[in-house]
Amino acid sequence: PMTPITPATPASESSGIVPQLLYAFKSRKIWNKNSENIVSTVNLGCKLDLKTIALRARNAEYNPKVRLASIQITCFPPLSSEEQSRLAARKYARVVQKLGFPAKFLDFKIQNMVGSCDVKFPIRLEGLVLTHQQFSSYEPELFPGLIYRMIKPRIVLLIFVSGKVVLTGAKVRAEIYEAFENIYPILKGFRKTT
Amino acid sequence: FLDALPRVTCPNHPDAILVEDYRAGDMICPECGLVVGDRVIDVGSEWRTFSNDKATKDPSRVGDSQNPLLSDGDLSTMIGKGTGAASFDEFGNSKYQNRRTMSSSDRAMMNAFKEITTMADRINLPRNIVDRTNNLFKQVYEQKSLKGRANDAIASACLYIACRQEGVPRTFKEICAVSRISKKEIGRCFKLILKALETSVDLITTGDFMSRFCSNLCLPKQVQMAATHIARKAVELDLVPGRSPISVAAAAIYMASQASAEKRTQKEIGDIAGVADVTIRQSYRLIYPRAPDLFPPDFKFDTPVDKLPQL
């Protein structure tokens, strides 16, 4: 028989430590934040010859078919904080400067944040889609994960049978945390018992 | 919901089904004999036309049967074939072209209905599914929320939804086979339509596809029932978490057919089900260890369980 689930007052985030089972109840959530990706835009304040930059700079991808002709700069390894993202953007402004364009660093804004974590138990997606059908979309023919569109905060979560969860669409870090707080008790309710 | 004609009912017996008397044009209540409607116009066809008759003389004075739900009302004027010398110009062509454009506002919709009927015909879908598809398409079209999408894509997605709603789902790949639209696009339209019409569909199960796949493979009823049982048990015992129900169904059919006299290869099953044979292999590997528990108790083995192929 499953241990009773205490109502959600989560403890502070413990980065990835699996709590020991004390007194036969679990009160802590387990949360590994493995990787977080941050996509941001920055207005460099000048006209750019995108092709030249893409060819000359490393780590830059130029996709002319995309509507807003832009350069997507991917950073390896994934950034773990907003400050690092800003720093990386500054570095690229520098790169563009060195290529000969009068670049300035204006309007840095983070556009999207992605987080992933693991609840460490398998999930009954069929049950979840039955009860939350206004928010969920689960089509095994199209995608093996359940797509949960949370309204408040406005986050999209990809929930998998293994218990891994991907959260995306956040503008600030707090939204990711809040969304996970909201979904965790729901997922616990659909834990697979076999 | 298919009848737009005004209904008359007997005032004393509102539930009674009225009897029509053709000769007098009356509608009579069978309970009390009250004549409820008189001088009712018979909307049946005026003449019977047979296919071997010469088609030039069509004595019908009215047009095709009305389709009031799905078009604007179908009221339009058409110019008939000319009779007499004055209607032909110098080359022998008719002076006035035969059919003028009718209901131009819904030309696209009627085109889509034709396309839907063609698609449904290719996979022999019954009339009720086609009607449901037409209704769905009409709702989506009037809402205009998916206006930018290709009509064929919306039609294909409506067809998919209608099959699901009628309890006889077709896989996306089966719909792709009769449509020119890609699976990706149909999937996208499918999700958009569900959101636009604020409906949802039931989750697909392995049993939905068994009868179709097994018939296409010419497998006997025993094998089909065994495969259904295997797939259901495999899902119950959670041997195949996260696998698409189609893949599980295909693997179950493979196991059942290999245990019977009617063996089918993975490639054959993969062709019918629309899954790759490696996919079948993957799911089969997951259910193979519990094979003895999955078969129905009364199954007659042609090949015993321990001699089943191990992939």
Residues of A with CB below 8 A from B200's CB? 133
| Residue B270 and residue B241 in contact, taking contact as beta carbons nearer than 8 Å | no
Segments making up each domain of chain B, as ranges: 7-40, 104-197, 206-307
Confidence of residue A23 (pLDDT cuts 50, 70, 90): very low
How much of chain B is helix, strand and coil, in % rounded to 5? Answer: 45, 5, 50
Tell me the C-alpha distance between B139 and B150, whole Å: 16
Task: Convert the pLDDT of each residue in A135-168 to its tens digit.
Answer: 999 999 999 999 999 998 999 999 999 999 988 8
Domains of chain A with bracketed CATH: 39-110 (3.30.310.10), 119-193 (3.30.310.10)
Q: Which residues of B touch A160 (CB under 8 A)?
A: 242
Q: Which two tokens stand for residue B54?
A: 């010469």
pTM of the model: 0.73
Q: Per CB distance under 8 Å, which residues of B are interface residues toward A?
A: 171-172, 187, 190-191, 194, 200, 203-204, 237-238, 241-246
Does B245 sit within 8 Å of A140, measured CB to CB? Answer: yes
Q: How many CB atoms lie within 10 A of CB B229?
A: 19
- The pLDDT of A33-62, averaged and rounded, is 46
Please give the CATH number for the structural domain made up of B206-307: 1.10.472.10
Interface test with B, best of A124, A126, A131, A142 (most B CBs within 10 A): A142
Percent pLDDT > 90 in chain A is: 23
Collapsing DSSP to helix, strand or coil, A112 comes out as strand
Architecture of domain B7-40: Single Sheet (2.20)
pLDDT tens for each residue of B76-127:
666 666 666 676 666 766 666 655 566 667 788 888 999 999 999 999 999 9
Say whether A137 and B191 touch across the interface (CB within 8 A).
Answer: yes
Three-state secondary-structure class, residue B173: helix
CATH class of B104-197: mainly alpha
The span from the CA of B307 to the CA of B291, in Å, is: 11
**Interchain CB distance below 8 Å, A194 and B241:** no
Contacts of B161 in chain A (CB under 8 A): none
Kindly state the percentage of chain A with pLDDT values over 70: 47
DSSP A167: E
SS3 category, B232: helix
| Residue A100, pLDDT score | 64
- Answer yes or no: do B187 and A139 touch at CB < 8 A: yes
Q: What would the pLDDT profile of A94-150 be if each residue is shown by its tens digit?
A: 776 776 666 566 666 667 778 888 888 999 999 999 999 889 999 999 999 999 999
Chain A residues near residue B246 by CB distance under 8 angstroms = 140-141
